[in-house]
Amino acid sequence: MITNNNFIQVGDKAPDFSTVAVYEQEFKQIRLSDYLGKYVVLLFYPLDFTFVCPTELTAFSDVFNKFFRLNTEILGISVDSEYCHLAWMQLDRESGGVGNLKYPLVSDLTKKISLSYNVLNNEGKSLRGLFIIDKEGIIQHFIVNNLDFGRNVSETLRTLQAIQYVQAHPDEVCPANWQPGQSTIKNSPLHAKEYFQSI
């Protein structure tokens, strides 16, 4: 049984890592700390050449430019090797591959990254963990799905926008289902009443 005594939480510094990734059909050494100054979405997924995983990875790739315009990079991570990642990216979508993704796929062959983020299950696979890390390297949001169902790309984007909004406006908070351009709540009892009286 694989165990981890570290329990990361929102507000913690994201565990750094250095490993090999595949991007634009090339192997590339990357380190999470190299992305300081940008927001990062970490997408843990179980394995290459599976069924739900390509639907998630390609969905994020298809809207990558929306994240990029928000100063955000995406990193896909599984316990496969970089060679497995490369083979999967060289396979077209119609054949179960992911094609040429617009972001790197990270190799976690040692499983240390998945373990440090508490997403490694007892079978040695990564659960569907999604982490949004801010430009200071702090975890602002995470969710973890079991293996059999995928995540929502639009909700990830909305959550990222909410994080960025409140960081830029520290005297405001975003209510449930908030979308950019909608009303926020002033972070004080008196001003909060104005919002509640308006809904």
Catalytic residue annotation? 53
The structure tokens listed for 52 are: 């739900």
C-alpha dist (Å) from residue 194 to 74, 185, 188 = 37, 8, 10
**Neighbouring residues of 186: CB distance < 8 A, sequence distance ≥ 6:** 171, 172, 192, 194, 195
For the beta carbon of residue 161, count every other beta carbon within 10 angstroms. Answer: 18
Residue 131 · residue 114 · CB < 8 Å:
no
Strand partners, 133: 40, 139
